[in-house]
Amino acid sequence: MQGKICLEEHLSTAEYDQIWNSGGEEARNGAEYMAEVRRRLPDAALRLADMDRFGIETMILSLTSPGVQGITDTRRAIAFARHTNELITDKFVRPYRGRFYAFANVALQEPRAAADELERAVRDLGMKGALVNGFSNIGDADTAQYLDEPAVWEFWERVAQLDVPVYLHPREPLPGQRRIYEGYPALVGSAWGFGHETGTHAVRLMLSGLFDRYPNLRIILGHMGEGLPFLLPRLQSRLYMQRRGIGLGNAKKTVGEYFTRNFYVTTSGHFHTQALLNAIAELGVEHVMFSTDYPYEHAETGARWFDEALISDNDRLRIGRENARQMFHLT
């Protein structure tokens, strides 16, 4: 299929590499693999060549995880988000109009500043919403502020006013919450820990009452929904059985109702047709979009799988292009 649009595609900058240089990724993923990833993250020419080769017309780009959320100094995070949004616009978006767009970086360590920067990025820079890498560190690496917490609702109010989507992207769990992974460091990141962390974070949003106050919010999850299309029916059933217990949050509807109304999923890094069919069955084809997770995954692998997946041509067109074109108002 030609003309595909994808929206979980990562980049890095020289400044970010100086801030975030995790030796754990090389140890866990292999030095050779990570060297190739780091070579491709900042390189527009290599990216465009892969896009042209495999029928990808447009990428919506985002800073690689943990991004601004991992900067523990709030003032530095705010300044970094603003500067990086301008840098991405100048280096990737403006020189390659129509090929690259971008999600804004927002420093949710200070929700009002994050809201202001999102509004500036959308209105002045033409960014297509925000990508948030999970919880935000405040003060040190073992603290977290999650997106459902009351302090962050000021940010969500602005998101609702701007009517733009937020991509909830994974990051590794807090260092103090990794006991279950001891002895198996390969599981901490994208292989397993990402999905567990982000799926739980999404459920927190559903239970918080956020979508009752702001029913037009749209949250995008990668990796075919971080397991939620398969797991959510069980969760909903158990929460109903526990309805007279404690800890159910403030939501007025079921988690399934929020999932099918307010959430969208992409195929990033999860190139499996049965999972795709399950996501379509649970959410509807209009809530599923194509992505690759470049350069952590090969564009060729994702594109060839999608082009050959056993789905109808109409569904392929909607997932591969039209859903994203409509959501992000792409011409």
Which residues are designated catalytic?
A: 293
* Residue 67 CB partners (closer than 8 Å, separation 6+): 16, 105, 131, 133, 169
Tokens of 248: 């159910």
Sign of CA dihedral 44, 300, 305, 267: negative
Helix 255-262 × helix 193-207 angle, to 10°: 100
CB 303 within 8 A of CB 197: no
Closest CA relative to residue 108, chosen from 201, 18, 224: 201
Exposure b/e, 277-315, CB count within 10 A at least 16 = b: eebbebbebebbbbbbbbbbbbbeebbebbeebebeeeb
CB 69 within 8 A of CB 1: no
Structure tokens at 199: 């799926």
Cα distance between residue 261 and residue 252, in whole Å: 14
Helix (H) or strand (E) holding 265: strand 263-266
Note whether 212 and 253 are within 8 A (CB).
yes
Q: What is the 3-state secondary structure (H, E, C) of 110-172?
A: CHHHHHHHHHHHHHHHCCCCEEEECCECCCCCCCCECCCCHHHHHHHHHHHHHCCCEEEECCC
* CA distance linking residue 109 with residue 254, whole number of Å: 29
Number of H-type helices and E-type strands within the chain: 15, 8
